[in-house]
Structure 1
Amino acid sequence: MSGRRRVEVVEHLSEEELDEAQKADEAPLVRRLCFVKNLYAGDVLQEAASRVGVSQANSSRWAHAWNDGGVDGLRPSFGGGRPPKLSDEQFSDLCEILEEGQPWTPRAIHALIHDRYGVTYDPAHLSRKLRASGMHYAKPRPMDPRSPDDAEEILAERLSQALGEDDDESDEDDPVILGFFR
């Protein structure tokens, strides 16, 4: 056995209608219609499959789907994946709670979700969901223990000196320096 199977193809559409159907916005459907067009041209399953880059098993499945249902039979029927653990309303409620009670640690967020809604999320997935809703984990920068107690006063004084807002006229010979100060 040579492994080259010819399949009987039901011609649901003429070649012109098939060309028109290939202009659809659905890339997976267009690829499958190209496969069917190759079968119309007389290719065996293996040749038609290799031209569009699919396996022999997929080509056989696509050929049967075409014969049974035409264009609608070829249209991918993805179920949409697993439903979310939290409804849209619950997730927006969670976001409001997180915004009100800041700051939160990732561990505290997971505990809140588990206690309030009874579900758990993988940490990476939860951070993706929060980023997608416009929230980001951030670590607040603690005060530097080496900074003096009057650091803000020193900064204001140096900044006014650098911008030339100081009342001392004796420092006019010093150049004005802009930058970051410690």
Structure 2
Amino acid sequence: MKCVAELDEAEELTLHQLSINHRHRNTRTRAAGLLMLGRGISPQVIAEQLGVSGQSVYNWSHMWRDSGVCGLMGGHNGGRPFALSEAMLITAIDAAKAEAMTLRRIAQRVEEVHGVPFPCHLDTLSIALKRAGFSYKRGRYSLKK
């Protein structure tokens, strides 16, 4: 089966913008590959220039034909799953809103509510709470004069 992509002007513009601005590198690569394919460059040359296998270019072509832009964007499953589940994070946020506590005490509250050991480091909890709008400083003793 011949590997070609016939693109109209709007599709070329969309792929060009995707190849520059999308947040995931693999989606940018796929869009650039399809642009090259639309310009008549052979799949082997595209694979060499983009540093992927030749089969990947064929797969991109088939996904473009079957699903369009959505086919290019799908398939990004990179990164490690979150250590804190959504329910644990909600419990931690509720505990932080209820009263002023240390991170260790918030982690203990999450353990009590969910009945499982706290699954991550306190720094991870701190980052998750910062994303939710909270900030914490290490408690220090005040100087007595």
**Structure 2 unpaired stretches of 5+:** none
* Cα RMSD after superposing both structures: 3.3
Hey, what does 2:43 align to over in structure 1?
45
Distance in 2 between residues matched to 1:105 and 1:17, nearest whole Å:
51
TM-superposed deviation, 1:122: 0.8
Tell me if structure 1 keeps the 8 A contact 2:4–2:38: yes
Identity of aligned residues (%): 20
Q: By how many angstroms is 1:139 displaced?
A: 2.4
Q: Deviations over 1:44-100 (max 9, x none)?
A: 22311333x341153333122123222232223547985751346434312213xx2
For 1:49 and 1:30, how far apart are their aligned partners in 2? 14
Asked whether the equivalents of residues 7 and 44 of structure 1 are also in contact (C-alpha less than 8 Å), the reply is no
Q: Could you say which structure has the greater relative contact order, defined with CA pairs below 8 angstroms and 6 or more residues apart?
A: 2
Q: How far apart, CA to CA, are the structure 2 residues paired with 1:79 and 1:90?
A: 27
Any unmatched runs of 5+ in structure 1? 1-5, 152-182
**1: CA distance, partners of 2:85 / 2:29:** 34
1:55–1:68 Cα change, 3 Å: same
SS in 1 for 2:86: coil
In the other structure, the counterpart of 1:86 is 86
Cα shift at 1:115:
0.5
* Alpha-carbon shift at residue 7 of structure 1 (Å): 4.3
Alignment-derived partner of residue 22 in structure 2: 26
Deviation at 1:111, TM superposition (A): 1.9
Report the equivalent of 1:138.
138
The structure richer in helix per residue is 2
TM-score by length of 2: 0.66
| Count of aligned pairs | 133
Match of 1:95 in 2: 96
Normalising to structure 1: TM-score of the pair? 0.55
Match of 2:70 in 1: 72
What is residue 107 of structure 2 aligned with on the other side? 110
Pick aligned residue for 1:55 from 52, 56, 76: 52
